Structure 1
Amino acid sequence: MNECHYDKRMDFFYNMSNTDTADEWTGTKLMIVLCFGTFFCLFIFISNSLVIAAVVKNRKFHFPFYYLLANLAAADFFAGIAYVFLMFNTGPVSKTLTVNRWFLRQGLLDTSLTASLTNLLVIAVERHMSIMRMRVHSNLTKKRVTLLILIIWAIAIFMGAVPTLGWNCLCDISTCSSLAPIYSRSYLIFWTVSNLVAFLIMVVVYLRIYMYVKRKTNVLSPHTSGSISRRRTPMKLMKTVMTVLGAFVVCWTPGLVVLLLDGLNCTGCGVQHVKRWFLLLALLNSVMNPIIYSYKDEEMYSTMRRMICCCSQGESPERRSSRIPSTVLSRSNDTSSQYIEDSINQGTICNKGHS
């Protein structure tokens, strides 16, 4: 019978896996990584808080898509918390951690990734429901959206806790991973493959929707009254979603591939040398999302700027003409397929925020 090692500290498992936790995490390099990590985490907290506040404050965002977008921002905010906890419990400190504290460290990261991924899957379903009917927003009620958000976090918390619940190598050291010394290699294979398959499914779904909307827009344009920009609004919103998904896939795929190689016990792949850089790349995803929201959606940008302007009476810079006009409806009770754009008086934007 295999002996279990619940009472051991992490130095025992790191030594068994021949992992050098101190390499590249001491001296100047460590300080540089911590400084960049701290800056990024502060930006994540502030920017994603602004996105959530914008959805709550602006009644034009009170639709299923934007509720889910706010939940994605909440997942990014949670990722920032996970990275802060990681920064204070990594490098040479890793070997001093208890098994439970190490499980907490990794569980927070796994939960944040699962929350973001599951949220993107739900957004894909919501986009399919609305876009296939050529509408900006689906008819999901607030009650159903709230239930979906609760399910998203329940799944995320469960997936983050799976290794703690038993799928680990504490009782079978020979199956331990190198990057995650108390994770079973079989769990890493399951976790990374399931995430990569989910990436592929979402990419295929969004490409299908994108092609459908583009085809329908081209067919209906000559026969539809109204401005060209109104008819292209569904395509603009799809581009925003696809940009968010693209950034997510680009930032997370390299790290997942490295974990998969480790799960497959690829000893000659040099996974130890690139793991830190890919972790920083994953952190960058939570930094990019708020920038994408504000750049792609004019109304989101305007709402966030009004909230920032409330702290200052100074003159705001002119908006860039490359931003895409707002994709929200002007009335919450409008369920038709007409897409209404909102014009904003830039000269009085801060004054409106104070009124």
Structure 2
Amino acid sequence: MSNQLQNTSAFNSATWDFQDLGNSSPVRTPEMRPVAVNPWDIALCVTGTLISCENAIVIAILFYTPTLRAPMFVLIGSLAVADLLAGIGLILNFVFTYMLNTEFVTLISVGLLIAAFSASVLNILAITVDRYLSLYNALTYHTERTVTFTYVMVILIWLLCIALGSLPLLGWNCLRDESSCSICRPVTKNNAVALAVTFLLVFALMMQLYLQICKIAFRHAQQIAVQHHFMAISTTKGVSTLSIILCTFALCWMPFAMYSIVADSSYPIIYTYATVLPATCSSVINPIIYAFRNPDIQKSLWLACCGCVPSNISLRPRTSSDV
């Protein structure tokens, strides 16, 4: 196995286990002095810590607040669990890279990160579907059928993501053939391309759903508004919110998805770091967009922190954009 492949592979012992920017692996051995920690790995570890803290707060709020059991909160909780696992995976990857570097740990780490980030993306899609249904079937949305559908959707998402995360352990890896590695070792080039194309399809579906949401919102505004000017402003604000959500999602994940398709392990590692870091930042932004903006979660957070609720939050009406 050539030194060139060792130095240019994006990940060392896991999908996110990056090689040092120098000429050697950052793994400690009895015969070698410890190699300086890669600053990019530190940045990913710090990002993972921030992700874990944010989403742990969201999960705690949802768990200890009995009133937050509606379908939208089930989906927000599922997204928070996925992002929490992603954050823990980034932290463990840093620990494993510099303290414990074995083939088994490599496959466990890559499996956890694939499952977690896949679940994060698919839960965002599920939230988009829920928003669409809440407008399209407004009269029947708050029924037991919707609750059942939500739980089934969450279960299917996690079963699929666990299956994807198990693939490296089942032999779908490039540990025995470095030439087939993608920018994310030990994921093979073909598997990385398949995941990237799937992401692009998910993004395209999200765009279509949000376009339909905008159409329905404008139609409802025209049908039931008496104060046309007020409703126009409200609807425009909602469209702006959806645009921000889509743009943020695309800016975080699109560079990494596109780079995974065109690049392989022979490409400079600096480009992999530059595309991976924004992708992981998606899990930092998700709690802000989908949880902390929701007035019900804000109330619970204020009550937990200071025992009071600001009047502007308690009197604020809930809208679909708060989900």
The reply to whether TM is greater than 0.5 is yes
**Separation in 1, partners of 2:68, 2:276:** 32
The amino acid across from 1:151 in the alignment is L
**Residue 219, structure 1, aligned to residue 226, structure 2:** no
Shift of 1:219: 2.9
Residue-by-residue CA offset, 1:290-328 (whole Å, 9 max, x unaligned) = 222455323322221221225xxxx99x7889x993427
The amino acid across from 2:258 in the alignment is V
Residue-by-residue CA offset, 1:36-63 (whole Å, 9 max, x unaligned) = 4454333322321222233334454321
Q: Is the 8 A contact 2:217 2:235 kept in 1?
A: no
Shift of 1:189: 1.5
Q: Which moved more, 1:274-283 or 1:187-196?
A: 274-283
1:145 aligns with one of 133, 150, 167? 150
The count of corresponding residues between Structure 1 and Structure 2 is 301
Structure 1, unmatched stretches of 5+, are: 1-11, 329-338, 342-355
Change in CA separation of 1:212 and 1:44 when aligned onto 2, cut-off 3 Å:
same
Match of 2:276 in 1: 279
**Separation in 2, partners of 1:234, 1:135:** 23
Residue-by-residue CA offset, 1:311-349 (whole Å, 9 max, x unaligned) = xxxx99x7889x993427xxxxxxxxxx9x9xxxxxxxx
Change in CA separation of 1:18 and 1:132 when aligned onto 2, cut-off 3 Å:
same
The amino acid across from 2:295 in the alignment is E
2:287 aligns with one of 275, 285, 290? 290
**Residue 62, structure 1, aligned to residue 69, structure 2:** yes
**Residue 300, structure 1, aligned to residue 297, structure 2:** yes
The amino acid across from 1:290 in the alignment is P
**Separation in 2, partners of 1:272, 1:160:** 24
Match of 1:346 in 2: none
**Separation in 2, partners of 1:36, 1:170:** 26
**Separation in 1, partners of 2:155, 2:205:** 22
Correspondence 1:25-104 to 2 at 5 A: 30=37, 32-33=39-40, 36-90=43-97, 93=98, 97-104=101-108
Match of 2:316 in 1: 325
**Separation in 1, partners of 2:214, 2:36:** 44
**Residue 180, structure 1, aligned to residue 169, structure 2:** no
Shift of 1:78: 0.8
Shift of 1:240: 5.8
**Separation in 1, partners of 2:148, 2:77:** 16
**Separation in 1, partners of 2:39, 2:311:** 34
Q: TM-score, normalised by structure 2?
A: 0.76
Shift of 1:286: 1.5
Q: Which moved more, 1:40-49 or 1:137-146?
A: 137-146
Match of 1:209 in 2: 213
The amino acid across from 1:22 in the alignment is D
Change in CA separation of 1:240 and 1:30 when aligned onto 2, cut-off 3 Å:
farther
**Separation in 2, partners of 1:145, 1:234:** 28
The amino acid across from 2:248 in the alignment is A
**Residue 23, structure 1, aligned to residue 3, structure 2:** no
2:163 aligns with one of 114, 135, 158? 158
Runs of 4+ in 1 over 6 A off after TM superposition: 24-29, 318-321
Secondary structure in structure 2 of the residue aligned to 1:88: helix
**Separation in 1, partners of 2:181, 2:318:** 46
Residue-by-residue CA offset, 1:117-170 (whole Å, 9 max, x unaligned) = 221222233222221134695534544433332222111111122233233345
Structure 2, unmatched stretches of 5+, are: 10-18, 27-33
Match of 2:15 in 1: none
**Residue 196, structure 1, aligned to residue 200, structure 2:** yes
The amino acid across from 2:184 in the alignment is A
**Separation in 2, partners of 1:51, 1:189:** 32
**Which entry has the higher C-alpha Rg, 1 or 2?**
1
**Separation in 2, partners of 1:13, 1:162:** 26
Residue-by-residue CA offset, 1:198-252 (whole Å, 9 max, x unaligned) = 111112211221222123213321399xxx68x959985x866664454333212
Q: TM-score, normalised by structure 1?
A: 0.70
Change in CA separation of 1:155 and 1:137 when aligned onto 2, cut-off 3 Å:
same
Correspondence 1:239-318 to 2 at 5 A: 243-263=244-264, 270-293=267-290, 296-309=293-306
Q: Which has the higher contact order (CA 8 A, sep 6+)?
A: 2
Change in CA separation of 1:42 and 1:22 when aligned onto 2, cut-off 3 Å:
closer
